[in-house]
Amino acid sequence: MSDLPVIRLRPRTRPQAIRHGFPWIYADEAVLDRRTRSVAPGSFAVLEDDERRPLALVTVNPASKIVARVMDRDPEARIDEAWLRQRIARALSLRQRLHDTPFYRLVHAEADGLPGVVIDRFDSAAVIQPNAAWADRMAGQIADALAEVTGVTTVILNGQGRARGLDGLDERIEVLLGDAPAAPVGVPMNGAVYLADLMGGQKTGLYYDQRPNHAFAQRLSANAEVLDVFSHVGGFGLAALAAGAVRATCVDGSAAALDLATAGAEAMGAADRLETRQSDAFKAMEALAAEDRRFDLVVCDPPAFAPSRQALEAGLRAYERVARLAAPLVAPDGYLVLCSCSHAADLTQFRNVSARGIGRGGRRGVLIHTGQAGPDHPTLPQLAETGYLKALFFRLD
């Protein structure tokens, strides 16, 4: 402890939240004097309350709104490769109980005790997103620990996305261990096959968080005409085909993502039942309405329209618009699935704007199921941001 700098909470800042599991210290909660501001981003420090009592070992980034993140409740902990191996091994033990194939979210940031770190596993390969300065600085050690614990032979760093910018990190993609995959990786999930581009795809190449919602949608897909809007590499559409859908139409703005959806359908022997449309999603839904198309199941899984509180109002309007345009495309007694991955929009807000949008689209419906991310995306109860995903399943009259 004597070798580390000290970060102190301001007077009247309640330390109980930290003691009870909240993992972040915001800039307005800490004493940011000249000494503190000179600490290099990603360094470690001891967090003290305003009476100088140690609370935890933290990682510090004076340039971020989240000035410190709790690494360990033990102020005397040493963050080294042994510490990393222990955290990764604990995360792995949960995933091995949850899944019988090596395709899953292995580390879900603060919820797995690795602040700002996301790791998705693709059999012998893994993709790391280091979204905090400490993890970016120690990416090589994380890769080595990951390989030792899991046996993966390829580790890729995908340093893209809004979260890195908030911590002052540049975008970069590089291979930390092994060789870059020569082709997209096939991922079996819910009876479907998805193709994940680990070097050039969005995020880590595939969204594992929707796995249980894909499975629920499959219950509604047999002998159905399905529309998957904002489909990425075919998420709900390919799941529907695996469950016996008559046809799935995938809409996305990315030609590369739709090519991967087509390749996935081919790998499943279902290419003749897949239709793709490269288009802006809103324009595509308007065009389908003009064509008088109707579908037994319509799914809309857009990007985060409300990634921050500042974007909340605009984001809620966008979600309402999605519901308004999608509802008329649903056949009588068909199903509409609306998803949000915006942590700034809570479940109640999202449900309210979705219902309003359905009404403004001239339809009425009942909510039959509310889904969330799968258990390989655990939620830290103290941190709402870890419970970001919401999926609403409506039956429309």
Domain ranges in the chain? 6-72, 81-177, 189-396
Amino acid at 332: P
Cα angle 156, 159, 161 (rounded to 5 degrees) comes to 135
- Higher local confidence (pLDDT), 13 or 89: 89
Q: What percent of the chain has pLDDT over 90?
A: 88
Question: Quick one: average pLDDT of 6-13?
Answer: 90
Per residue in 65-89, is it b (16+ CB within 10 Å) or e — as a string?
A: ebbbbbbbeebeeebeeebbbebbe
Position 192 confidence tier, pLDDT thresholds 50, 70, 90 = very high
Position 48 pLDDT exceeds 80: yes
Fold that domain 189-396 belongs to in CATH: Rossmann fold (3.40.50)
Q: What percent of the chain has pLDDT over 70?
A: 99
pTM of the model: 0.94
Domains 6-72 and 189-396 share a fold: no
Determine contact, residues 319/283, Cβ cutoff 8 Å: no
Position 45 pLDDT exceeds 80: yes
pLDDT recorded at residue 154: 98
Position 123 pLDDT exceeds 70: yes
Other Cβ atoms less than 10 A from the Cβ of 125: the count is 23
Determine contact, residues 252/262, Cβ cutoff 8 Å: no
Position 355 pLDDT exceeds 80: yes
Q: What is the largest CA-CA distance in the chain?
A: 71
Please enumerate, as own/partner, the contacts of 11-19 that have beta carbons within 8 Å and a separation of 24 or more.
11/50, 12/50, 13/49, 13/50, 15/49, 15/50, 15/53, 15/55, 17/382, 18/47, 18/55, 18/56, 18/70, 19/55
pLDDT recorded at residue 2: 61
- Higher local confidence (pLDDT), 119 or 63: 119
Which of the residues 250, 300, 339, 341 is marked catalytic? 341
Fold that domain 6-72 belongs to in CATH: 2.30.130
Pick the CATH number of 81-177 from 3.10.450.50, 3.40.50.150, 1.10.569.10, 3.30.750.80: 3.30.750.80
* pLDDT tens readout for residues 132-168: 999 999 999 999 999 999 999 999 999 888 888 888 8
Position 1 pLDDT exceeds 60: no
Question: Quick one: average pLDDT of 257-261?
Answer: 97
- Arithmetic mean of pLDDT over the chain: 95
Determine whether 341 is an active site residue.
yes
Question: Of 90-94, 115-119, 204-208, 223-227, which range is least confident?
Answer: 204-208
